[in-house]
Amino acid sequence: MNRFNFTVKQINALPTPTKGTGHYRDKEVRGLELIVTPGQKGQGRTSFYFNRKFRGESIRILIGTFPEKTIEQARTKAKKFSTMVDDGIDPRSTAPRPRAGLNLQQLFDEYIEVKKLPKELGGKLTWEQDLAQYNLYLKKDLGHRKINSITRNEIEDIHRKMGLRTLTAANRLLSLLKAVFNHAIRRGHLTSQNPAMLIKRHHEEKSKRVLTDEELAAFLLALDKETNRDFPNIFLLCLFTGARRNNVLSMKWEEIDWADETWTIPRTKNGDEITIPLYRDAVTLLGERHETARTSFVFPSEGSKSGHIMEPRFGLHRIMKRAHIGHFTVHGLRRSFASILASRHVSYIVIEHCLGHKAKDVTMGYARVSLKAHREAIDIVGNHIMACRGISHTIA
């Protein structure tokens, strides 16, 4: 950690990190720390903290934000806290607690408003997924709780219990809680340590599971037996397009070009726009839904704040059980799409383009895949799917 005598000139000259945080210590006063975090429009947030160990525990207390809090004011406060530590008194007992009444629901509402912003302003493309996780796993039991009353043990218990059912969901929820409490600390709502920070993630084996042709045939048959067509349509579009789950769920009618039979995703996970050619059966599926459409979303949901269906996992579990297929995820449909192309010896560059992946090396960066090549790949997958269904289609 960098250590120097704090001056206005030196603090103003500190670089604003693009990721993570910058930590600096004052040479003059023990325990006085300066933390610089990324901010909006390239302007970092610079805050004074008191950071020392008390009875073996590392504590960090927010003193104030620079330049609203001057260096001398920060040093005076840090000296007072340091004296308390030396005298065996916990300085947290007298430290100010901004918005002490803030509960987790209020904190999460504030967090999600920031995440709705553009990515360059601190936003997050998958904020709707965060919202769904909170509503499903945290809102009922912790939403009403004061944030400074939620303990590490409670979060660890939630993480462990969820891990018994699904390791991936448990780890994602832990990451969300870490991010939410970090937001609270940055905004001065929480002066203690992040209660989720020291909890270890569950070890996950990366899944490589794809549907075999026999499983695909059974899966398609099980889809036909569903009375509610939302989930079958979602899963078929995942297979026909290779698109990410969240992009399919949030698909809007305005993104469909009926004349060219394409779907343009304005912003994928990596931040880029991508145009996906639509297989003929996908166009038919969408056309049937469009006849009864009442909202801008292809898969609307009145009970969702986002306006569209958020969690298809349970529907997939039901369908897979009917098809007598073991554990399988929605993302596995995307892997199956890529696996079909690889089995037909489609080039790696074309497959990566179809999946919307960024170039991983300089050579791929210069490669450009035409819409025609993309459509040919889509037709290969579509024809294979329909062949597994017992219907033979040929490319016109």
Do 107 and 100 touch, CB atoms closer than 8 A?
Answer: no
Cis peptide leading into residue 67 (ω within 30°): yes
Residues whose CB is less than 8 angstroms from the CB of residue 162 and which lie 6 or more positions away in sequence, other chains included = 137, 169, 170, 173
Max avg pLDDT among 62-66, 268-272, 373-377: 373-377
Residue 227 has pLDDT above 60, yes or no: yes
- Mean pLDDT within 255-268: 92
Question: Whole-number mean pLDDT of the chain?
Answer: 86
- pLDDT score of 41: 43
Helix crossing, 230-241 with 330-343: angle to 10°? 40
262 vs 283: CA distance, rounded Å: 9
- Mean pLDDT within 343-352: 93
Residue 360 has pLDDT above 70, yes or no: no
Q: Write down the CATH superfamily of domain 213-388.
A: Intergrase catalytic core (1.10.443.10)
109 vs 305: CA distance, rounded Å: 12
Q: pLDDT tens across 22-80, in order?
A: 889 999 999 999 988 765 444 567 889 999 988 888 888 888 889 889 999 999 999 99
- Mean pLDDT within 323-351: 93
DSSP H helical ranges for the chain? 8-12, 71-86, 104-115, 127-133, 139-142, 152-163, 167-186, 213-224, 230-241, 245-249, 280-290, 313-322, 330-343, 348-354, 362-366, 371-388
The length of the chain in residues reads 396
Residue 366 has pLDDT above 50, yes or no: no
Residue 155 has pLDDT above 60, yes or no: yes
Residue 285 has pLDDT above 70, yes or no: yes
- pLDDT score of 322: 92
For residue 298, the surrounding DSSP H or E stretch is none
Rounded to a whole number, what is the distance in angstroms from the first to the last CA of the chain? Answer: 65
Identify the CA nearest to 152 among candidates 191, 188, 189, 198: 198
Q: pLDDT tens across 177-220, in order?
A: 999 999 998 888 888 889 999 899 988 767 788 999 999 999 99
Residue 385 has pLDDT above 90, yes or no: yes
Q: Give the CATH number of domain 2-93.
A: 3.30.160.390
- pLDDT score of 47: 87
Chain Cα centroid distance, residue 109:
16
Residues whose CB is less than 8 angstroms from the CB of residue 288 and which lie 6 or more positions away in sequence, other chains included = none
284 vs 364: CA distance, rounded Å: 34
- pLDDT score of 120: 66
Q: Where are the domains of the chain?
A: 2-93, 104-186, 213-388
Chain Cα centroid distance, residue 112:
12
Identify the CA nearest to 78 among candidates 31, 34, 141: 31
316 vs 305: CA distance, rounded Å: 22
Q: pLDDT tens across 234-252, in order?
A: 999 999 999 999 999 999 9
Q: pLDDT tens across 78-132, in order?
A: 999 999 988 888 887 665 544 456 899 999 998 988 888 767 667 787 888 899 8
Residues whose CB is less than 8 angstroms from the CB of residue 155 and which lie 6 or more positions away in sequence, other chains included = 174, 177, 195, 196, 199
Identify the CA nearest to 249 among candidates 237, 240, 261: 237
173 vs 186: CA distance, rounded Å: 20
Q: pLDDT tens across 308-317, in order?
A: 998 888 899 9
What is the pLDDT confidence band of residue 357, given thresholds at 50, 70 and 90?
Answer: confident
